[in-house]
Structure 1
Amino acid sequence: MQIAVGARIVIHGARVGAGERHGEVREVRGDGGGPPYLVRFDDGRESLIFPGADCEVEYHAG
């Protein structure tokens, strides 16, 4: 997965009943747009993530 700063992502819940997390990519720390990504989620939390199969791009910036 290669995305740019400003892209909107969603991480789907890994378990039944777990909610989705929506956020915006604030920094791309990997080479050529690759992970890890610093994401600010809509609840205000920030995390450094390596997206897995449960992650998709809602809006692809750039």
Structure 2
Amino acid sequence: MGFLFFCNVDGDGKITESISGERIVPQKQYDYFYFIVGKEYEAFLNDLPKYKVIDGQLTLTHTPI
């Protein structure tokens, strides 16, 4: 099973605001939406500072931004 991830990003693709969960309904519009499959929820949240949005794709950069 996967989970939902909604986020806003700055001009460099750095995630500035996000919400996530298995059954979440956002209360506002976000720049991007992803359905994350194959990752543990807690592990994803721990690695969140290492992610950026590049060309519309959620990308693991391997180093904290």
Common fold: TM-score over 0.5? no
Q: Which TM class, normalised by the smaller chain length?
A: 0.3 to 0.5
Query: TM-score normalized by structure 2?
Result: 0.31
Structure with bigger RCO (C-alpha 8 Å, 6+ apart): 1
Query: TM-score normalized by structure 1?
Result: 0.32
